[in-house]
Amino acid sequence: MADETPGATPEQNSIPTTKVQRSAKFIKTGVKIGGNYIKHYSKKLFNPDLDKSELNEDNAADIYQSLSELKGSALKVAQMLSMDKNLLPQAYVDKFTQSQYNAPPLSGPLIVQTFRKYFGKNPDQIFDKFNIRSTNAASIGQVHQAELNGKKLAVKIQYPGVGDSISSDLKMVKPIAFRMLGMSEKELDVYMKEVEERLLEETDYELEVRRSIEFSKACANLDNVVFPKYYPELSSKRIITMDWLEGKHLKEFLATNPSQELRNQIGQALWDFYNFQQHELRAVHADPHPGNFMITAEGKLGVIDFGCIKEMPEDFYYPFFSLTSTNLLDNKEETIKAFRQLDMIHNDDTPVQIEFYYTQYKDMIGLFAQPYITDTFDFSQTAFFDQLYSFGERISKMPEFKQARGVKHFIYVNRTNFGLYNILHELKAKVKTDTFKPHVVLEY
């Protein structure tokens, strides 16, 4: 885990943990946003051509500052939205991307307090050495370096109150998300419910340790992928201890101007890591932001976070991946059956609506599936990503997509795969895409 300059981000000495404290913070942020709108429309009186760039920047800064101080699920939603680039104006994407790497860290006394609560001891009574300054702070917790018996360790500590405030936080962030995303209320409810289920799992560090051990064993034979060892006896519901993995985050790695061969090697490791899980385990590491990976000096992909796992039931897996990986899309009748199974076409849709959604979804899946239908794919090509983003932007403005469509599993599976595509694009990697093929059926 790459060391960051201590003290680069000011430490936070307290965190709002009660519902009252956290709702007060949201209300204060709402007032600021209201003020930004008043300022914007006042300026627009004198300059009718004024666009929303400054408004978006002001709102993004105020929302991010508030979510950074609250941490937890509110900040996690910002992190997720920063990856869904076609959902938000660029100002939000730019600001929220910070949550992938460096939220303000908690101060030493709060860290000691957490240790005393779960172990009844200070960290220096458990470890031979413990750096009270965090090396990396994100949405759910922060990481500290420690040593025990000559072994370098990473200790991840969850922020106080995060696990207990998920439901209430998401209720409070909903109006902000509603305004930013432009989703229908029904669609937003489905989105928030699925996010809540995953976040409840993600804040259970005992579950994360079990999954981390299970997944790292299952993926042990993948080429150029490495995992830290986990220590259940030094972990608890809010603390995880694992081996310290030396390496660079993606931005640091790319700054070294790596060779195309090395970019391809890391890209191949990422592709294999995700597609092995999706197609052989039917459960996948569903948090593919760059902060969860390290690139080691040996040119291997280090995976350091298994907090968010999405399981894929068969009634979702088969129709979805059969559409992406075969010529099933050429069979209109069977494709419409698959779309019905995935709730993309509804039982009460008119023939005109069926034709409309069939055409739009066929185009969408055809785009998404491009890496799957050839043996190799060059993720450096910008044309593919321009098509993806412009298609997403186009349908987001269509009134027909204001109502909820598609089963809830799409939320994290789409996020996982588009997140993977985006990292591969940043790497400019060319990868073999036929290494772990989907299991398919051709009739429904």
Q: CA–CA separation, 317 vs 409, rounded Å?
A: 9
**Contact by Cβ (8 Å): 59, 33:** yes
Reduced to 3 states (helix: H, G, I; strand: E, B; else coil), residue 425 is helix
Neighbours of 208 (CB within 10 A): 24
Q: CA–CA separation, 82 vs 80, rounded Å?
A: 5
Reduced to 3 states (helix: H, G, I; strand: E, B; else coil), residue 179 is helix
Distance of CA 235 to the CA centre of its chain: 24
Strands 293-295 and 283-285 turn out to be: unpaired
CA separation, residue 127 to residues 118, 150, 192 (Å)? 15, 10, 39
* CA nearest neighbour of 107 among 142, 65, 61: 142
Torsion of CA 202, 207, 210, 211, to 10 degrees: -40
Q: CA–CA separation, 198 vs 204, rounded Å?
A: 10
Q: CA–CA separation, 47 vs 223, rounded Å?
A: 58
For the chain (length 444 residues), average pLDDT per consecutive 10? 44 54 57 54 58 63 60 56 49 51 66 92 96 80 93 91 72 64 67 79 91 95 96 95 94 95 98 96 89 94 90 93 84 92 93 94 91 93 89 80 80 88 95 92 70
Give the contacts of 316 (CB within 8 A, at least 6 positions apart). 342, 407, 409, 413
> 158 — phi, psi (to 5°)?
-80, 145
Distance of CA 165 to the CA centre of its chain: 19
Reduced to 3 states (helix: H, G, I; strand: E, B; else coil), residue 301 is strand
Q: Which residue, chain included where needed, has tokens 């948090």?
A: 287
Distance of CA 142 to the CA centre of its chain: 16
Amino acid at 110: L
**Contact by Cβ (8 Å): 307, 287:** yes
Q: Which residue, chain included where needed, has tokens 């061969």?
A: 261
Please give the structure tokens belonging to residue 94. Answer: 């730019």
Give the per-residue pLDDT at 140: 77
Give the per-residue pLDDT at 76: 60
Give the contacts of 293 (CB within 8 A, at least 6 positions apart). 249, 250, 270, 301, 302, 303, 304, 423
Kindly state the DSSP code that residue 220 receives in the 8-state scheme.
Answer: T
Please give the structure tokens belonging to residue 357. Answer: 């959604």
**Contact by Cβ (8 Å): 235, 151:** no
* CA nearest neighbour of 75 among 202, 223, 253, 220: 202
Q: Which residue, chain included where needed, has tokens 């039931």?
A: 313
CA separation, residue 427 to residues 146, 258, 285, 390 (Å)? 31, 9, 19, 21
